[in-house]
Structure 1
């Protein structure tokens, strides 16, 4: 087994590095891992058996609102409902059945999307998806509850409302109250280290700093697994014209623009409960569901907004070891139009300052990556699209091409296993898991 990695260090989106000094470790891409406790592939790694603890902040995520208020999704469902007032009962009715059938829901969402769904998963999803696919916030009435749900739906990186973002809201929303949204102790690089060590124990080898520009340059092999975007696949592989035309129809979505800050001390949130969450969603002038939905729609159609949706991560809220003598890493990204060239630092700092006056005074340094620069840094992030393809209904079900086996390419023994294949983006490893399962099944025939 030979792995070729373009970067000088293995791990891809799971790398962690001391960006500004030798002590404070920043996650380069992924930082929070709601799929880690539930993904069938990641469970086989036995992270905790290899010394990687998944740590939780008291709140799974939170959302600041106007007037110094905040909505908080606590790990404890009842604590969350108690703070949502007249929407507490509605939140419970929405999330509790999903939590009780969580295994069935996760299995469906992380499947190949090519087999009949579990009747149990359909029974719990079918009554809930339509309302959230048709209007932001579904049937919730209070701004706090609507913002909580819309903020988590926006992880789908696309227009809100839509069937794809509704599915994301129900998946990540209920997991907040079951297995939570953990961070790996010490940073995401710890997960990549376990995967690399497992590969090497099996006799494999990782070659870093090697960019593959033509598959024909690789050593002889029986199986080729490609964790690349459809655009990169078309660039490096001698594909037949028909398949190349199908790949050319693949569409990429909005970009992400990322900012990293080492800060001196906790973020000075006006509502101190926000400090209990490693993940905080921000958006719009007042943080309302309508503002976030409008920003996501505008971004998806390529229009710039000065108040985009932002995900902020403060890993030390879950993992105190990430704070070194009071200094801690803070990571945030904004959803921006595809290929956007703006440096996001000032925009993100201003959004945080709205709800944490004095945040700028705690910032010791800063680094910004526009969507365009993110796309240049990683060929899979076309135009800064970290989802490796827009999550429309059609492209969710038929990514990367409309074929029964979406992983197999026309080239003998060559398989695609990136987030452009089912079940799509997020750190769950299931794209590779399904592709490898299909490849090994064919090899054994």
Structure 2
């Protein structure tokens, strides 16, 4: 049997980023995917029982990292024909009594809309949005080394990390760190006075599915909110998230790589012979397949990796736009439906205690706002998540509907159909989401840094064996960085390739 250079288990964005990087370096690569379609958490597909002409994003729907992450900047999705469109309003937070927090892509408009808190918002996010390249490179690094936190930014420009690169990153890094300390701790209520500003930022922090305030939530909020005001905004891929995946697969195949779907890997015997194996999986799956190849201390540490709380998914078919009380909310492709800061804190704390919140945190995306072509035959898709306890079997359709109806009276009247995937069933379409943990690991500050373990190298777990999923740094999101970091280590250690391959079209 032919010896391959590398096998990648899993075809999510990280697995494909690793495969593309290896193939670009001249390696023979094969990707094995258990599901019948590629893409992991970035798939788009029809749901025939809901609507014959519509396609739905299975997990991720909105992608600021598709233009901002160092990997995708180097890969250049727009240069490959992938349309990334962002509405003028990145996200919104409806409140009772006809109020709402509105995050325009234009920072000045956002500040003006926030009134008394406008200057405070501008002071916090103006510098972060201006330094988005440095901030993103630091956030998307390997969380271990200075080089690893710089190489993404400079590699995408064909340069090597230098002292100059370090100097240029120090000031933005310090600024981000100071904001993290402020927004992740008890001082988070001091900056903003209005409920609109407080809720607007808290809704973004809630993406981490963690009690608030927290450093993990604050880091998520600061990075994503800064990118909302940067050049690419909160982008929607034209046609759905699958457009990103299709571009990656096309590049991989153009460089000799092969993708096999329906290829479940249960043990090491299911893998074709290769010099390196990269796992776009959870540590749990890695241990099941390659456990006896991993030394005891590392094996034990990987076994202690914790998964977090969960999301349950609801897909809706609507006959028209959501009738939000505040018209501008309907101009945002992403809406955080959780009410006030205090209500969101209660909801996330309730979930952390293993209970369902009466007013759950709900994330809503209407892709048609940015991509009108997603509507067909007088109907349109709507994507929604509700935060729930890990492993919850509950159908959250009514809870999500009730929350949206609270801020959009008449929402029920435009619902044509719906389908819920409870948290307990999320891993049926993506094994990296056990119990509905869409972050592939608990979003604690410790586990965001010591991810998946405190090892100096978070990617190589044994000779020729690497973990490259969202369970490694920098964590969840469609950014490809876990795969990029792991593949470059494999190139150096397994193949003595010291030059980062050019990823441009």
TM-score (norm 2): 0.85
Corresponding residue to 1:373 among 425, 438, 441: 425
- 8 Å CA contact 2:91, 2:336 repeated in 1: yes
1:77 deviates by 0.5
Runs ≥4 residues deviating over 6 A = none
2:182 is the alignment partner of 1:152: no
Of residues 18, 39, 44, the one that matches 1:11 is 39
Contact 1:278–1:313 (CA under 8 A) maintained in structure 2: yes
Asked if 1:36 corresponds to 2:89, the answer is no
Cα offset for 1:138? 5.1
Are 1:293 and 2:293 matched, yes or no?
no
Q: Judge conservation of contact 1:213–1:235 (CA < 8 Å) in 2.
A: yes
SS of residue in 1 equivalent to 2:192: coil
1:432 deviation in Å? 0.3
The answer for the alignment partner of 1:24 in structure 2 is 54
The residue number in structure 2 matching 1:267 is 322
Q: State the shift of 1:394 in Å.
A: 1.3
Please list, as runs of the form range in 1=range in 2, the aligned pairs for 1:282-361 lying within 5 A after superposition.
282-283=337-338, 287-361=339-413
Question: Which position in structure 2 is the counterpart of 1:94?
Answer: 124
SS at match of 1:206: strand
How big is each residue's C-alpha offset from its partner over 1:312-361, in whole Å with a ceiling of 9 and x where there is no partner? 00000111111113311100001111111111111101111111111111
- 1:296-318 CA-to-partner distances (Å, cap 9, x unmatched) read 12212322212111110000011
Aligned twin of 1:105: 135
Contact 1:104/1:120 (<8 A) preserved: no
Q: Tell me the CA shift for residue 242 of structure 1.
A: 2.9
Which secondary structure does the structure 1 equivalent of 2:263 belong to?
Answer: coil
User: Are the aligned partners of 1:137 and 1:150 in contact in 2 as well (CA < 8 Å)?
Assistant: no
Distance 2:109 2:295 in 1: 56
Q: Distance in 1 between matches of 2:471 and 2:204?
A: 21
Q: Which residue of 2 aligns with 1:126?
A: 177
C-alpha distance in 2, partners of 1:163/1:315?
30
Equivalence for 1:393: 445
In 1, are the aligned partners of 2:311 and 2:387 still within 8 Å (CA)?
yes
Tell me how far apart the structure 1 counterparts of residues 238 and 251 of structure 2 sit (CA, whole Å). Answer: 19
- Quick check: 245-254 or 145-154, which moved more? 245-254
* Aligned equivalents of 1:47, 1:35: Cα separation in 2: 11
> Is 1:424 matched up with 2:454?
no
Secondary structure (helix, strand or coil) at the match of 1:22 reads strand
2:102 pairs with 1:60: no
CA distance in 2, matches of 1:170, 1:374: 28
In structure 2, the partner of 1:220 is 273
Matched pairs, number: 441
Deviations 1:376-433 (A, max 9, x none): 33221111100011111211111111100000012x2110000010000011000000
Higher alpha-carbon deviation: 243-252 or 134-143: 134-143
Answer whether contact 1:261 1:329 (CA < 8 A) is retained.
Answer: yes
How far is the alpha carbon of 1:104 from its aligned partner?
1.1
2:399 and 2:87 map into 1 onto residues whose CA distance is: 26
SS in 2 for 1:140: coil
- 2:274 is paired with a residue whose SS is coil
CA drift at 1:362:
1.0
Residue 258 (structure 1) aligned to one of 313, 316, 320: 313
CA distance in 2 between partners of 1:140 and 1:112 (Å): 32
Q: Given that residues 138 and 146 in structure 1 are in contact (C-alpha distance below 8 angstroms), is that contact kept between their aligned partners in structure 2?
A: no
Confirm whether residue 185 of structure 1 aligns to residue 238 of structure 2.
yes
Q: CA RMSD in A?
A: 1.3
TM-score calculated relative to the size of structure 1: 0.97
CA contact (8 A) 1:45 1:194 kept: no
Q: Distance in 1 between matches of 2:209 and 2:220?
A: 10
**Where does residue 115 of structure 1 map in the other structure?**
145
CA distance in 1, matches of 2:314, 2:190: 31
Stretches of structure 1 that go unaligned for 5 or more consecutive residues are none
**RCO higher in 1 or 2 (8 Å CA, sep ≥ 6)?**
2
Contact 2:315 2:419 in 1 (8 A): yes
Task: Find 1:437's aligned residue among 485, 488, 503.
Answer: 488
Looking at structure 2, the residues matched to 15 and 138 of structure 1 have their Cα atoms a distance apart, in angstroms, of: 40
Give the Cα separation in 1 of the matches to 2:78 and 2:326. 34
Which whole-Å deviations, capped at 9, do the CAs of 1:257-315 have from their partners, x for residues lacking one? 000001001111111111110000011xxx10111112112212322212111110000
Moved more, 75-84 or 377-386: 377-386
